[in-house]
Each structure stands twice: as C-alpha cells, then as structure tokens.
Chains A and B, each alone.
Chain A
C-alpha cells in the first residue's frame, strides 16, 4: 500500500511538470509582446517596460523558466502585478469560502443523489425511476448561472428565506455561514447530483441482478438491508469514481457560482485577475487547481480498497 502511494506520488510529478511548462510557455507562445498584452490596451510604453521588468520578461527565456521553476519548487507561486502581494497570500485570504462552498456542494449532491439513484434502481422503470432519470437529463442541461439565479429569485427575492448574495465567514457563526452557502451549494450541486444519481442507478442495477442479491432475498434479509448493505456497498466503486470526476467539474463550476452569488473566494479571485490581466495570479491558480485535481484522483483510487477489499495495491 505504502509502496503504491509512493509510486503514485512519483507519477504525479510528470503531470505537474507538464502543467508548469504549459502555464509558463503559454505566456510566450502567444503572438505579440506578453508585457504589452498584460499591461492592457491603453498602457504607455513606460508601463509596458515596468511590467516587463517586474515579470522578468527582459531576461533570456531559459533563465526565466529556471527562476520560475525554482520559485515554484519552493512553494512561491509568483507575485500579483497589481496588489504586489504574493499569489499564495491572496489564495490563503480567499480559501475559506471556496472550501466551504465545495464541501457543502459535495454534501448536498451526495446526500440527494445516492438515495435518488438507489430508489430509481430499486423501482426500475417505475414513475420514480422516470422522474429521477428526467431530473438527471435536465441537471446536465441547466447551467449553474441560470439555476443559481432561479434559486435567488424564488428563495431570496420572492420568499425572502435566504440572503440574496454574499458570504458570511465561519467566524460569524456556523448558522450564518450555512444560510449564505445554501443556495450556491444547491445551484452548483445540481449538475453534480444528476451525474451521481445516474451512475448510482446504473451501478445498482448491475449489482441487483447478481446472484448474491437473490441469495440475500432468499434467506429473508430485510429489503432495506439488501439494498444498503449488500447492494450499495458493492456498487460503490463506480459511484466513488464519478464523485472524483465530479470534483474536477466542481472546480470549474466554483468560478461561475462565486460570480453569481458574489462569494469572495478563489473563483472571484480568478475572475478579478482576468479582468485586470493579472497573469501571475491566473498562472498560480491553474497550478493550484491542477494540483488539487491530481490529489483528488489519487485519493479516489486509494478509497477503492476501502469499498472493495478485493482491490489491492
């Protein structure tokens, strides 16, 4: 197991090297002067020169990459052009809302999707099944920036149950945070819910046709126990895989959701950086998100041994 983890960790190195190379050379492969692009359309030559010097773009390219890679290895993601703060500091300031949003979304999606999928598989081809499948088709089509606004319109503006936008940090009390994160979590969780419900249903259907399920029924195990203890646990591996794939989708969704709900997290940081063309922040965030995605994939693979002891590494 330990050997496997070490092997997998080593295997992530080339992936991250490609990501770093890509992020670095993207800036140089683009046609035109990168300093001029970053400085903006109406920058004076002096400002462009300033950006060039600040980013070290006046150095030879191999030297630039050397410095970039060396800094990266020491955990230095670069410095923002506009605020002059290290990217890592900016990230730390914005981390809490994004993590809370991601966890809440994950919770909402899994908590609704798994019962939906199990129910649909148990009552296959029934009305409930059709309803769940219909929902999952719809969930893929409705973008978060439509569903989010529908939720705001209904629950915040018409019913006034929840705040319209914004985020209350955990320091203000958990109930405040939960109230501010409820709508965003549902809005973002919809696609995710659709994905997990669909795969749960499919995976359960397959397992329910196995011999040991018939045996369990035959020896008189209660229906609930057959579904949850015998079937669901054996159907878990594909479900967990999809949860992992979904987490990657979540990262993209966070950027849009935070914009819809005015949440000052990493997504907002990204969008603000785009509007100001603060390229070091975008570079740093891409590396961070890619790293997070690689780690999630590893965690998912490791969790297989828990759900299915037949899988050994």
Chain B
C-alpha cells in the first residue's frame, strides 16, 4: 500500500504523462481485477432485483435449455440456473472474504508470537507442520463431516488449513525484522514487548500479508465450491456455485449448462482476485516480483 500511494503522489506532483502511463501500466492487472470484482460485488448486492427466487421451482420446466426466459437454462427440479448463479455470487464472496479475514487474523497473531518468542515457536511450529501435512480439502472434509453443516462451519473448516500458511509467512518476516538493530534498540530502551510488536514489527508484515490474503481469498472460494461439488460443503439448500454444479453432475450429458455457467462465474471470480493479488505483489514487493 505504502509504495502505491507513494508513486501516486510522485506522479501527481510532476504531472508527467509518462509517469502516469508507467504507473497505470504497472497496475493494469490490479485495475482489471478490481473492475471485475466490483462488478461481482454489485451483482451480489442487487441480486434480488436482477434475479428471481433462487429456490423457486416449477416441475414443468425441468432441464430447459438456455433461452430468453431461462438465460442459463433450468436444473432437474425446474429451478432457474441464472437466478441461482446470481445468488451464488453472494455465498462465494462471503466465504472468500470471511476466510481471508479469519485466516489472516489468526495466522498473523500466531506468526508474530512464534517469531518473537522462541519457546512458543518450538511447540506451535511442530503443530503447524502436522497440520500442513494434511491435504487442505481432506482436513476441511473431516471437520465438516463431524459437525452439522452450515455456512459458518464451512468458513471455519476452510480457514483452519490456511492458518499455518499465513503464520509461516508472518513468522519468516518477523524473524528477519527481529534481528534488526532498531528492535535491539527498542528492547534496550525498555519498550514493552507488546509495543515493539505493534509499533515496530507489525507494519513490516502488512505488505506480504495483503498479498497473501488475496491468494487465501481465491483459494477459499475454490475450496468451498469444490467441497460443495463433492456434496460435503455448504448445505445443499443454499444456492452456492458448488452446489449448483454438484446437481449438474448426473445430467451433464444432456444439460451441460447447469455446470458450465456457475463454473465460468467461479473461474472469472478467482481470476479477478488472483489478478489483484499478482498486481499487488508486483507493486508492493518488487523483490518477489522479479523472482516470480
């Protein structure tokens, strides 16, 4: 964020067209991704006005091809796939944002503690290694199978496997920062540990954390859809993209639209978030950018 605003002010001060062009070209991916994301957020917000009841079904309209009446066709219960996909945008965005928030917050706290206190580190990191050895989707499946399926449980179950990844990233940043002379100076001058973490360590984690959060968000949306597709995710009565696609499995050969339309929305959403993530990474941390 810091370097973004910095380049904006530089460009504004000199008002050189070349600078503005350079800046916008470097951020083309961010702008592109943001435009798509804004469109999706708008769709999610105005869903009741642009779509019909996603749960309403008419048995006479079973498996209808896409047409002017049913833009994306209907499923085997005669439900409008278009309305279900539009409402599904809400579920995916909620899951993506919630998981990104939960995983980043807990991962950040754990990462800072591990990087700062060696004793916590030894125990917590062993635990994280174990957690990371379990494939994310299986871990989420096990958690969801054992609890009563609800959107909240799905969010928690997807967040847990993401936490170690965030914690490790934060920990590595903290470990490099901790050795810096200004931290030693702060300790020597008697600054409290909490203050050191808050004022001197936390700001260093912001840039990589924002980038990581976008990737967590994208991967959470994919995982939720995957779990629902397998029948082990969001409760089937909620119209999430994965649930819509899951119902399309049986009738794929005669009604491929049930899978294709939500699938395309899913891919475009993930693509947009990844574009923002890639763009942010290139702007915030040119060192990684050169490596990737």
A275-B134 contact, Cβ under 8 Å, with A145-B245, A149-B256: no
Residues in B whose Cβ lies below 8 Å from that of A277: 145
Taking a contact as CB atoms under 8 Å apart, the answer to whether B133 and A137 are in contact is: no
Residues in A whose Cβ lies below 8 Å from that of B236: none
**Nearest chain B residue, comparing its CB with the CB of A297:** B133
Taking a contact as CB atoms under 8 Å apart, the answer to whether A289 and B135 are in contact is: yes
B82-135, CB < 8 A from A:
126-127, 129-131, 133-135
Taking a contact as CB atoms under 8 Å apart, the answer to whether A37 and B146 are in contact is: yes
**Nearest chain A residue, comparing its CB with the CB of B144:** A274
Digit string of A21-39 for contact with B (CB within 8 Å is 1, else 0)? 1110011001100100100
A77 in the interface (beta carbon within 8 A): no
Taking a contact as CB atoms under 8 Å apart, the answer to whether A252 and B147 are in contact is: no
Residues in A whose Cβ lies below 8 Å from that of B136: 252
Taking a contact as CB atoms under 8 Å apart, the answer to whether A274 and B146 are in contact is: no
Cα distance, A14 to B266, chains bound together (Å): 38
A109 in the interface (beta carbon within 8 A): no
Taking a contact as CB atoms under 8 Å apart, the answer to whether B253 and A18 are in contact is: no
Taking a contact as CB atoms under 8 Å apart, the answer to whether A141 and B134 are in contact is: no
B178-230, CB < 8 A from A:
218, 222, 225-226, 229-230
B263 in the interface (beta carbon within 8 A): yes
B291 in the interface (beta carbon within 8 A): yes
Which one, B15-23, B49-57, B267-275, is touching chain A?
A: B267-275
Cα distance, A141 to B129, chains bound together (Å): 27
A280-296, CB < 8 A from B:
282-283, 285-286, 289-290, 293-294
B141 in the interface (beta carbon within 8 A): yes
**Nearest chain A residue, comparing its CB with the CB of B289:** A202
Residues in B whose Cβ lies below 8 Å from that of A271: 230-232
The total of chain B residues at the interface (CB under 8 A) is 45
Residues in B whose Cβ lies below 8 Å from that of A19: 130, 133-134
Residues in A whose Cβ lies below 8 Å from that of B43: none
Say how far A117's CB is from chain B's closest CB, in angstroms: 12
Which residue, of B130, B266, B267, has the highest number of chain A Cβ atoms within 10 A? B130
**Nearest chain A residue, comparing its CB with the CB of B29:** A137
B139 in the interface (beta carbon within 8 A): yes
Cα distance, A214 to B292, chains bound together (Å): 22
Say how far A104's CB is from chain B's closest CB, in angstroms: 19
**Nearest chain B residue, comparing its CB with the CB of A22:** B130
A293-B133 contact, Cβ under 8 Å, with A23-B142, A26-B146, A137-B275: yes
A233-261, CB < 8 A from B:
248, 251-252, 255-256, 259-260
A248-B147 contact, Cβ under 8 Å, with A141-B271, A146-B263, A286-B142: no
A216 in the interface (beta carbon within 8 A): no
Which residue, of B137, B225, B274, has the highest number of chain A Cβ atoms within 10 A? B137
Say how far A191's CB is from chain B's closest CB, in angstroms: 10
Taking a contact as CB atoms under 8 Å apart, the answer to whether B226 and A145 are in contact is: yes
How would you classify the secondary structure of chain A's contact residues: helix, strand, loop or mixed? helix
Say how far A32's CB is from chain B's closest CB, in angstroms: 8
B260 in the interface (beta carbon within 8 A): yes
A56 in the interface (beta carbon within 8 A): no
B143 in the interface (beta carbon within 8 A): yes
A140-B274 contact, Cβ under 8 Å, with A26-B143, A274-B230, A294-B133: yes
B12 in the interface (beta carbon within 8 A): no
Say how far A69's CB is from chain B's closest CB, in angstroms: 15
Say how far A57's CB is from chain B's closest CB, in angstroms: 13
Q: Which of B146, B226, B275 contacts A27 (CB 8 A)?
A: B146
Taking a contact as CB atoms under 8 Å apart, the answer to whether B131 and A18 are in contact is: yes
Q: Which of B146, B147, B229, B259 contacts A259 (CB 8 A)?
A: B229
Cα distance, A97 to B245, chains bound together (Å): 24
Say how far A297's CB is from chain B's closest CB, in angstroms: 9
Cα distance, A31 to B148, chains bound together (Å): 9
Residues in B whose Cβ lies below 8 Å from that of A16: 130, 133
Taking a contact as CB atoms under 8 Å apart, the answer to whether B147 and A30 are in contact is: yes
Q: Which of B139, B226, B232 contacts A274 (CB 8 A)?
A: B232
Residues in B whose Cβ lies below 8 Å from that of A131: none
19 contacts between A and B (CB under 8 A): A14-B129, A15-B130, A15-B133, A26-B146, A31-B147, A140-B218, A141-B270, A145-B245, A146-B264, A149-B256, A149-B259, A251-B138, A252-B138, A256-B226, A271-B231, A274-B232, A275-B231, A286-B142, A293-B135
Task: State the 4 A-B residue pairs at the shortest beta-carbon distance, nearest first.
Answer: A18-B130, A146-B263, A141-B271, A252-B137
Query: In the complex, given contacts A18-B131, A145-B225, A274-B230, what are 7 additional A-B residue pairs having Cβ atoms less than 8 angstroms apart?
Result: A18-B126, A143-B267, A198-B292, A252-B136, A282-B142, A286-B142, A290-B133
Which residues of B are interface residues toward A (Cβ below 8 A)? 126-127, 129-131, 133-139, 141-143, 145-147, 218, 222, 225-226, 229-232, 245, 249, 252-253, 256, 259-260, 263-264, 266-268, 270-271, 274-275, 278, 291-292
